[in-house]
Amino acid sequence: MVALNHVGSHAWRRSLDKHWSERARLLYPIRVSALLNIYLLAAFAILGAAVAGLPARDWWFYALSCFLGGLLGCYPLDKTIRPEHTLKSWGYQVLLGWGLRAFLFVPLIGLAITIPAKWRWEALGASIGLAIWHAWIVSAGHILILRWMRALTPISPELQAILSECFSKTSVTPRTVGILRTPLLGAFAAPITQSLVFTEGLIKHCTPDEIRAICYHELSHLTESRQLKTQRVLSSFVFFPFLFTKPMLDAWGLWGLVIVGITSVFWQKAGVRLLRRLEVQADQVAVRHEVDPGLYANSLLKLHILNQIPAVMPRNLVHPHLYDRMLAAGVTPDFPRPQPPKKLNWTTLALYAGLILSIYLFYQNFRRW
């Protein structure tokens, strides 16, 4: 993993003299691939165990070891991206990111594996239970989990004073405001619990005016209607169709799998369309409350530069591209519109090719045996 990330990030590491937008563009596929490669290395571990004839009941152990090793192997790259990281601070960020995901995905994967292939109505009860758990996590539970992981701290009186101007101007006062322990610059709103979260990185690097500019965007999310809040929760059920992979395979064979995949993609696209509309609205609210023209656009620019996120992404995500958000906020960036980054780095393509070739060779030999 260390070697793969090192050779894969060569062009980015040699680009110190380039504009930040070009550097972020080069870094994007490296980051995506570093994550994907962890899973691919775990797949290699399973294949290796199969070739070596090791008992199938132990395969999960080799895959998990490889996965954890791969995760640890990302430290040198992450340290190059953010030199201020120590092993401890980096480990905490990894734990935070994967910990939150685990609350959603471990029960989902567990039930997907144990669900009976022949459909039984008891499975519906378990699925509804899981749906309620999922809805709770994405609407309210994530704030509680972050508190429980000691990742959320209360805001200081100084920050309260900075933000109270926004609350009085919009007549929206969040129920709770917290600071998330991460060097990344960001903020998010949880409309259902009426909570607002700012990151430590944002508070550290932004001026009070910039913090307020971002705050107006987030406060707009807190005014979303009950119907929108429900749609927001529903849109997070992207991976839920995979829960029924086994019964669908049993009922319709490979077509069942195709239906599961298409449903998930459709759900994701519908969700992005809805959430994107809300982001555009929130941006408009933030621009309306600007004290200086261009303040909001330049705050977004700062967030992207320091987070090293490309100004144009390779596909449409929930947030429009930074370049378009700045234009919509009335500021033309002082750099030309960059090309979107590549979706993946060559290291992932090499691993994919290697994996497919290995599986092919394995089956060729398997048949001969």
Q: How far apart are CB 85 and Zn ion at their closest, in Å? A: 27
CA distance 245 to 261: 9
Q: Which stretch binds Zn ion (CB under 5 A): 38-46, 158-166, 170-178, 273-281?
A: 273-281
Q: How far apart are CB 177 and Zn ion at their closest, in Å? A: 16
Q: Which stretch binds Zn ion (CB under 5 A): 22-30, 141-149, 192-200, 281-289?
A: 281-289
- In the complex with Zn ion, the residue whose CB is nearer, 27 or 282, is 282
196 bridge partner residues:
177, 189
Report which of 282, 293, 364, 350 is spatially closest to residue 318, judged by C-alpha positions: 282
- In the complex with Zn ion, the residue whose CB is nearer, 22 or 279, is 279
- In the complex with Zn ion, the residue whose CB is nearer, 135 or 318, is 318
Q: What would the two tokens of residue 323 be?
A: 């370049």
Contact between residue 187 and residue 214 where contact means Cβ atoms under 8 Å apart: yes
- What's the Rg (C-alpha) of the chain? 23
Contact between residue 220 and residue 285 where contact means Cβ atoms under 8 Å apart: yes
DSSP 240-304: GGGGGHHHHHHHHTHHHHHHHHHHHHHHHHHHHHHHHHHHHHHHHHHHHT-SSTTHHHHHHHHHH
Q: How far apart are CB 237 and Zn ion at their closest, in Å? A: 20
- In the complex with Zn ion, the residue whose CB is nearer, 263 or 268, is 268
Q: How far apart are CB 289 and Zn ion at their closest, in Å? A: 14
Q: How far apart are CB 240 and Zn ion at their closest, in Å? A: 24
Report which of 43, 87, 42 is spatially closest to residue 65, judged by C-alpha positions: 42
Q: Which stretch binds Zn ion (CB under 5 A): 141-149, 222-230, 274-282, 304-312?
A: 274-282
Tell me the torsion sign for CA atoms 205, 210, 212, 217.
negative
282 lines the binding site for Zn ion (CB under 5 A): yes
Kindly report the CA angle at 23 between 20 and 24, in degrees rounded to 5? 85
- In the complex with Zn ion, the residue whose CB is nearer, 151 or 282, is 282
- In the complex with Zn ion, the residue whose CB is nearer, 203 or 300, is 300
Q: How far apart are CB 188 and Zn ion at their closest, in Å? A: 7
Count of positions on this chain that bind Zn ion (CB under 5 A): 2
Q: How far apart are CB 186 and Zn ion at their closest, in Å? A: 10
Q: Mapping DSSP to helix (H, G, I), strand (E, B) and coil, where does residue 321 land? A: coil
Q: How far apart are CB 282 and Zn ion at their closest, in Å? A: 5
Binding string to Zn ion for residues 81 to 110, with x set by CB under 5 A, is what? ------------------------------
- In the complex with Zn ion, the residue whose CB is nearer, 143 or 260, is 143
CA distance 115 to 244: 8
DSSP 31-57: HHHHHHHHHHHHHHHHHHHHHTT--GG
Q: Which of residues 175-214 bind Zn ion (CB under 5 A)?
A: none
φ and ψ of 63, to 5 deg: -65, -45
- In the complex with Zn ion, the residue whose CB is nearer, 196 or 312, is 196
Q: Which stretch binds Zn ion (CB under 5 A): 15-23, 113-121, 276-284, 322-330?
A: 276-284
Applying CB under 5 A, which residues contact Zn ion? 279, 282
